[in-house]
Amino acid sequence: MHAVDVLMYAHRTVEAALEGLPDETWETPGVCGVWSLKSIVAHLASYEHLLVDVVMSLTQSSPTLTLQRYLASQEFNDQEVNRRSALTARQTWDEYASAHTHTLELLATLSSDKLHHVGLLPWYGEQYDLEDFIVYSYYGHKREHAAQIMVYKDHLAGRGYASFTSVDTELG
């Protein structure tokens, strides 16, 4: 398994699911529980920042504020989505995409030993390594949310959104 490839394919799945959705659909609740498309992307952005912090915690002594919030609160998901509520859909996407790029850059600096060191993330589970964390917490996570977005796209198509082409929401 190759962590960078796993994350790249998961990211592409999210991009494809969101491709062409009109701006006016990004704030409508109900895509995933009460969350809108923008909320889902805000949630994914918070997890990208979390992964940046996880990798940085393994390589540097930098503060890991997102990781600290994640470990300290059962309300992490809602808190992080709420922290981004004032952002536009584009700003939310840009934050997610930027953090994803940063994640890939940091992962490229890790040795194979670091990626496969079982027990390196004791808060996640002593029997897991970083790649396990990435596959279970990122690849599967993004695929799940992309599927929810696709269901929402089908719902929109049934309500007259026959074409999902909008220059403003191209993610490219």
Phi, psi of 113 (to 5 degrees): -60, -40
For the domain with range 3-169, which CATH number is right: 3.30.420.40, 1.20.20.10, 3.40.190.10, 1.20.120.450? 1.20.120.450
The pTM assigned to this predicted structure is: 0.89
DSSP string, 72-123: H-TTHHHHHHHHTTTS-HHHHHHHHHHHHHHHHHHHTTS-HHHHT-TTS-TT
Question: How do the domains of the chain map onto residue ranges?
Answer: 3-169
What pLDDT digit, counting tens, does each position of 21-75 carry? 988 899 999 999 999 999 999 999 999 999 999 999 988 877 799 999 999 999 9
Is 78's pLDDT higher than 90?
yes
